[in-house]
Amino acid sequence: MQKGNISVQTENIFPIIKQFLYSDQEIFLRELISNAVDATNKLKTLSSKGEFKGDIGDTTIEILLDKENKTLTIRDKGIGMTEEEVQKYLNQVAFSSAAEFLEKYKDDANIIGHFGLGFYSAFMVASRVEAITKSYKEGSTGVTWECEGDPSYTIDGNDKATRGTDIVLHISPDSEEYLEESRIEELLKKYCRFLPVSIQFGTKTESVTEGDGEEAETKEIEVDNIINNIAPLWKKLPAELKDDDYRSFYNELYPFSPAPMFWIHLNIDFPFNLTGVLYFPKLGNSFEVQKNKIQLYSNQVYVTDDVKEIVPEFLTLLHGVIDSPDIPLNVSRSYLQSDQNVKKITGYITKKVADKLSELFKKDREDYNSKWADLGVFVKYGMISEEKFNDKAEKFALLQNVDGEHFTIEEYKEKIKETQTDKYDKQVLIYTNNPVDHDSAIRACKNHSYDVLVFDHVIDNHFLQHVEQKQGDLTFVRVDSETVDNLVQKDIETESVLNEEEQNKVKERFEKVVAGGGGTIVMKAMSPEDQPVMITKPEFMRRMMEMQAMQGMAQGMPEMYNVVINTNHPLIASKLMKMRSEEKKEHLVGYLYDLARLNHNMLKGADLTAFVGRSLDFLK
């Protein structure tokens, strides 16, 4: 037996590994199985080059759990190691690189999942580790390396008959969760479900039917439990695949989820290597809940579902898989953000997504329109956050009106050019964020031949301002922000049937009723067909308050609105002016004001109860 010390300056490197990586302790299994996959693939490469002439045979990697002896074993049938290689790779190269890595990044709290520690990550969960190995090389004998989590180790011979390596982890008392079958199965499904070499964990029962017809007999048999798909869909060529293959793979990734709308197959090998499939899910009006559904792999090894440094943020709403060995996964996020390969990958994915949407828009406009309810959030988010995407998306971003019709921005500007251009030659796009609540205002707009758009998502407040800034020649006005005749602000003046003195008297009466409510009285001569009293909310102030509310800053701020009195409405110009009873005048003014508040869902509680009571009195 040979004994020795690993050459490393910091003798307490093992506690540092354990403490530093504690929150990501579970990655030890991924690292050790990845090593086993590498050893297996190296054997296949040597065989293909004629440097290994033996029979490769079964290369399944086995995961063996022994709860009684508190061991977890990762067994491969790969190239194995000679004693000289054990000395080199376990005692020198692997450990020195782990020590260097920890020294460099121990103060960085944002280390990405793939730590690059490989073999020595085993000591995060094991108090003792054995490597029982035999090289594929002719004439090799077995070697056992053993270490108890400090710089001392032993190397001894063994009688292992077959090539490959067993890594035996003697699980430490504080990590006994890794002796539970369910925990190991969970980790295997998370990290190893698409590895390119078969991974076996125990056995499972399958039903097999023997014989035909009446003589057919179904039996339960035990078979190896292979936990991974060694040839996942994204590694195949798009020409080999059908739509059902993509849908089936989506179901494999996200069981019980609604089917995706469509997908993009990524496949590029220059100037970087990247494969993958990105799916467009049915987002509807959801937003945050959909993030972190893209899985990042490196050569089919799962790394993370936190990909915001690799893809633009708006693309994190997509689902699917990205696999690239060119993304540097063993460095800090700050480095990752400045890496040129990552920037190229980000640009490539953004372009592929924009091209796909443009293709769908041109190929089948009707189908594209029907998908807009799910696509809209995604496209708007992309336009706001990504300049290059915005430039392309302006041609396929849609606006939808209250009648369910869809238009591109340019199409809509052409549609309203004649009717909704103001005196400054700016086009006025009228919209509602709640068609039900704004029904009367929408009807009034339609009576004046104005069109009304629908923007009812949390992102729309930002999107409207973004489009205004980019286009320059248009403005958005919510349907309840102005009176109908003032929305487009043409040089058209309507004369009031009331003189100035009469208007002042009406104003005084409404001021008494509105006093303390936060509203400002505005006298306005409008069409007799318009409502007698309307409540409008200044567009600029309303937008500002909505932005502040989204940031949690608008609590306690008084609501600002205008109470617009239509001096040409018969109830104002005729009925109110002719009433003799002061009490009846006060009741009518209060009732008209409450009707306007009711129309804006501003009448609540005791005020609403009182209004209902007065309405019943009127009926009596």
What's the CATH code of the domain at 432? 3.40.50.11260
Of 176-185, 201-210, 285-294, 549-558, where does the model show the most confidence? 176-185
Do 58 and 183 share a domain, yes or no?
Answer: yes
Asked if residue 606 has pLDDT above 90, the reply is no
The last residue of a domain, from among 320, 350, 365:
365
- Residue 207 lies inside a defined structural domain of this protein: no
First to last CA, the chain: 108
Do 165 and 239 share a domain, yes or no?
Answer: no
Do 585 and 611 share a domain, yes or no?
Answer: yes
Asked if residue 130 has pLDDT above 80, the reply is yes
Predicted local confidence at residue 233, as pLDDT? 95
More confident residue, 520 or 250: 250
Query: Looking at the 3D structure of the chain, how many domains does it have?
Result: 4
- Residue 495 lies inside a defined structural domain of this protein: no
Compute the CA torsion angle 480, 482, 484, 489 (nearest 10 deg). -150
Predicted local confidence at residue 366, as pLDDT? 95
- Residue 374 lies inside a defined structural domain of this protein: no
More confident residue, 106 or 520: 520
Asked if residue 97 has pLDDT above 60, the reply is no
Predicted local confidence at residue 109, as pLDDT? 38
Asked if residue 135 has pLDDT above 50, the reply is yes
Taking residues 446-470, report their average pLDDT: 91
More confident residue, 191 or 484: 191
DSSP one-letter code for 571: I
Taking residues 340-364, report their average pLDDT: 88
Of 249-253, 304-308, 460-464, 554-558, the poorest mean pLDDT is in 554-558
Find out whether 89 and 81 touch, Cβ atoms under 8 Å: yes
Taking residues 280-303, report their average pLDDT: 75
Find out whether 164 and 5 touch, Cβ atoms under 8 Å: no
Do 184 and 74 share a domain, yes or no?
Answer: yes
Domain containing 523: what range?
A: 500-537+551-619
- Residue 544 lies inside a defined structural domain of this protein: no
Asked if residue 440 has pLDDT above 80, the reply is yes
- Residue 66 lies inside a defined structural domain of this protein: yes
Q: Which two tokens stand for residue 112?
A: 């990405």
Q: How far apart are the C-alpha atoms of 611 and 620, rounded to whole Å?
A: 14
- Residue 223 lies inside a defined structural domain of this protein: no
Q: Which two tokens stand for residue 211?
A: 């014989």
Q: Angle 349-351-353 (CA atoms, 0-180°, nearest 5)? A: 70
Compute the CA torsion angle 606, 610, 613, 619 (nearest 10 deg). -140
Of 3-17, 99-113, 250-264, 606-620, where does the model show the most confidence? 250-264
CATH at 178:
3.30.565.10
Q: How long is the chain? A: 620
More confident residue, 330 or 539: 539
More confident residue, 170 or 332: 170
Taking residues 449-459, report their average pLDDT: 91
More confident residue, 172 or 344: 172
Predicted local confidence at residue 516, as pLDDT? 67
Q: How far apart are the C-alpha atoms of 383 and 376, rounded to whole Å?
A: 11
Question: To the nearest whole number, what is the mean pLDDT of the chain?
Answer: 83
Q: Which amino acid makes up residue 616?
A: L
Sheet holding 2-5, edge to edge: 2-5, 152-158, 142-147, 126-134, 164-171, 71-76, 61-66, 199-210, 217-226
Q: What are phi and psi of 61, to 5 degrees?
A: -85, 130
What pTM did the predictor assign? 0.76
Do 514 and 483 share a domain, yes or no?
Answer: no
Buried b (16+ CB within 10 A) or exposed e, 217-228: eeeeeeeebebb
Do 419 and 505 share a domain, yes or no?
Answer: no
- Residue 542 lies inside a defined structural domain of this protein: no
Do 312 and 408 share a domain, yes or no?
Answer: no
Of 86-90, 107-111, 316-320, 611-615, where does the model show the most confidence? 316-320
Taking residues 598-619, report their average pLDDT: 81
Q: How far apart are the C-alpha atoms of 585 and 590, rounded to whole Å?
A: 9
Asked if residue 601 has pLDDT above 90, the reply is no
Q: How far apart are the C-alpha atoms of 309 and 331, rounded to whole Å?
A: 12
Q: How far apart are the C-alpha atoms of 275 and 323, rounded to whole Å?
A: 5
The pLDDT tens digits of the residues spanning 529-587 come to 888 988 887 777 777 777 776 666 655 556 778 888 888 898 988 888 888 888 888 88
CATH at 521:
1.20.120.790
Do 192 and 277 share a domain, yes or no?
Answer: no
- What are the strands, taking DSSP E only, across 136-242? 142-147, 152-158, 164-171, 199-210, 217-226
Predicted local confidence at residue 401, as pLDDT? 95
SS3 408: strand
The radius of gyration of the chain's CA atoms, rounded to the nearest angstrom, is 35
Q: Which amino acid makes up residue 589?
A: V
Do 428 and 307 share a domain, yes or no?
Answer: no
Do 18 and 128 share a domain, yes or no?
Answer: yes
Taking residues 2-20, report their average pLDDT: 56
Q: What are phi and psi of 68, to 5 degrees?
A: -65, -45
Q: How far apart are the C-alpha atoms of 425 and 547, rounded to whole Å?
A: 28
Predicted local confidence at residue 59, as pLDDT? 95
Q: Which two tokens stand for residue 271?
A: 């100037």
Asked if residue 267 has pLDDT above 50, the reply is yes
The pLDDT tens digits of the residues spanning 16-60 come to 555 554 457 888 898 899 889 989 999 999 998 888 888 999 999
Do 62 and 144 share a domain, yes or no?
Answer: yes
Asked if residue 300 has pLDDT above 80, the reply is yes
Asked if residue 338 has pLDDT above 70, the reply is no
Helix axes 582-599, 605-619, angle to 10 degrees: 120
SS3 72: strand
Do 100 and 189 share a domain, yes or no?
Answer: yes
Taking residues 144-148, report their average pLDDT: 92
- Residue 224 lies inside a defined structural domain of this protein: no
